[in-house]
């Protein structure tokens, strides 16, 4: 009840009217904020900090990564939604931006209050377990879950309404098992408990979980891309494991508050495309477990719309709520 009250308090307040953008002067005219609705150390934060120095160089103004964690990224999104639409505030998101509108009461309208700027990249989720667990593979886990009372086995994610959460619900449906969701306030704190063996299963993305699977600190049970992932050798895809057609890749993108002048969003699209094409930046992003896409404009807008529709159906069919 305390968690529900906290989230309700964060989200129930009405959106603050956004000041009108300034219409004169060159852009950017002052420091730029990259808002991240997650704690430091998670995949969105890592990505923003890869982009930050190059954006600062090409735009000629300081660029500050500002973490506003809470309520599955929506605290940061709410801050962006009420910021002046003058091109000095941008929101870096992960896939949950398109999922939580169907789960939570938000102080903003995801479709109306944001403009998709650039789909940066996508990659797999990976279901991991602590080495101390009895199962050695996902089929082993399924067999054990069927033998125990429903919900006896728990899994951690970065929060309610993340892709990790809804994708795992869908996977459990395919497998015919019931697990109990343990949401955290971001991937970094969930990772710490997973490494310590405080939770037996941890569903995360490749930037957060990949290094620990490769080191052996966590066992990789499966990835949510159709094929195995290049950076996680030996970890099968769930499609390979017999869940035909199952696919739930995670993705990252940049949004602007609605009302930012079109010439400014086009400039940001151009700069991001150029930065992501730089070999060193591309290498660093791909090393985090992402395929660089750099899709802008209508392509990204159509993608976001399809993601919102897809996961809203999963939420409705499984009665997913704020309390888990």
Structure-model confidence comparison of residues 160 and 175, the more confident one? 175
Average pLDDT, the chain: 90
Same domain, 168 and 304: no
Q: Which pLDDT tens digit goes with each residue over 219-261? A: 999 999 999 999 899 999 999 999 998 999 999 999 999 999 9
Which percentage of the chain shows pLDDT scores above 90?
81
Is residue 323 in a domain?
no
Tokens of 29: 């005219």
Q: Which of 188, 207, 223 is the last residue before a domain boundary?
A: 223
DSSP character string of 237-301: BTTTTT-TT----EEEEEEEETT--HHHHHHHHHHHHHHHHSHHHHHHHHHTT-EEEEEEHHHHH
Strands (E), 80-157: 89-94, 114-123, 125-129, 154-157
292 vs 160 pLDDT, higher one: 292
- d(CA 126, CA 204) in angstroms, rounded, equals 6
Q: Are residues 202 and 287 in the same domain?
A: no
Q: What contacts 276, CB < 8 A, 6 or more positions away?
A: 118, 120, 121, 282, 285, 292, 294
146 occurs within a structural domain: yes
Per-residue pLDDT tens over the stretch 130-155 = 999 999 999 999 999 999 999 999 99
pLDDT confidence bin for 25, thresholds 50/70/90: low
Please check whether residue 240 lies inside any domain of the structure. no
**End-to-end CA, the chain:** 12
Split into its structural domains, the chain has a count of 2
Statement: residue 23 has pLDDT above 80: no
Whether the pLDDT of residue 57 is over 60: the answer is yes
Pair (113, 131) in one structural domain: no
Whether 18 maps to a domain, the answer reads no
CA nearest to 63, candidates 88, 85, 80, 83:
88
Instruction: Show the tokens assigned to 269.
Output: 């699209």
Residue 72 located in a structural domain: yes
Tell me, what CATH number does 302's domain have? 3.40.190.150
Residue 288 has a pLDDT of 84
Confidence of residue 9 (pLDDT cuts 50, 70, 90): very low
CA distance 61 to 76: 22
Dump pLDDT digits (tens) for 89-128.
999 999 999 999 999 999 999 999 999 999 999 999 999 9
Residue 162 placed within a domain: yes
Position with higher pLDDT, 297 vs 323: 297
Give 260-274 pLDDT, tens digit per residue. Answer: 999 999 999 999 999
Domain harbouring 134, CATH code: 3.40.190.10
> Is residue 75 predicted with pLDDT exceeding 90?
yes
91 and 42 within one domain: yes
The phi, psi pair for 128, rounded to 5°, reads -120, 160
Range of the domain at 262: 30-122+250-318
* CA gyration radius, the chain: 20
Mean pLDDT, residues 187-202 taken together: 94
Residue 161, pLDDT score: 87
Give CA torsion, residues 66, 72, 75, 79, to 10 deg: 60
**Secondary structure element (H or E) that encloses residue 136, with its range:** none
């Amino acid at each position: 009840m305390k968690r529900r009250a906290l989230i309700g308090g964060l989200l129930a307040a009405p959106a603050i009217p956004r000041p009108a953008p300034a219409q004169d002067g060159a852009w950017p005219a002052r420091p730029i904020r990259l808002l991240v609705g997650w704690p430091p150390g998670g995949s969105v934060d890592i990505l923003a900090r890869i982009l930050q120095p190059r954006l600062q160089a090409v735009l000629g103004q300081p660029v500050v990564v500002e973490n506003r964690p809470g309520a599955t990224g929506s605290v940061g999104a709410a801050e962006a939604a009420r910021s002046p639409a003058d091109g000095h505030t941008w929101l870096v998101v992960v896939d949950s931006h398109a999922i939580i509108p169907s789960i939570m009461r938000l102080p903003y309208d995801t479709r109306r209050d944001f403009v998709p700027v650039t789909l940066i990249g996508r990659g797999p989720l990976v279901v991991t377990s602590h080495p101390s667990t009895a199962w050695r593979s996902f089929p082993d886990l399924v067999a054990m879950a069927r033998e125990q009372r429903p919900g006896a086995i728990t899994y951690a994610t970065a929060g309610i309404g993340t892709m990790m959460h809804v994708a795992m619900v869908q996977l459990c449906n395919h497998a015919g098992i019931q697990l109990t969701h343990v949401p955290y306030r971001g991937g970094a704190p969930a990772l710490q408990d997973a490494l310590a063996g405080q939770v037996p299963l941890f569903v995360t993305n490749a930037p957060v979980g990949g290094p620990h699977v490769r080191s052996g600190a966590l066992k990789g049970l499966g990835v949510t891309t159709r094929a195995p992932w290049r950076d996680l050798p030996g970890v099968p895809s769930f499609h390979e494991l017999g869940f035909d057609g199952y696919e739930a890749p995670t993705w990252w993108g940049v949004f602007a508050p609605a009302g930012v002048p079109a010439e400014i969003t086009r400039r940001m699209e151009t700069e991001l495309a150029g930065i992501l094409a730089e070999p060193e930046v591309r290498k660093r992003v791909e090393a985090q477990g992402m395929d660089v896409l750099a899709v802008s404009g209508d392509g990204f807008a159509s993608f976001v719309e399809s993601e919102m529709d897809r996961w809203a159906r999963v939420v409705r069919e499984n009665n997913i709520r704020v309390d888990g």
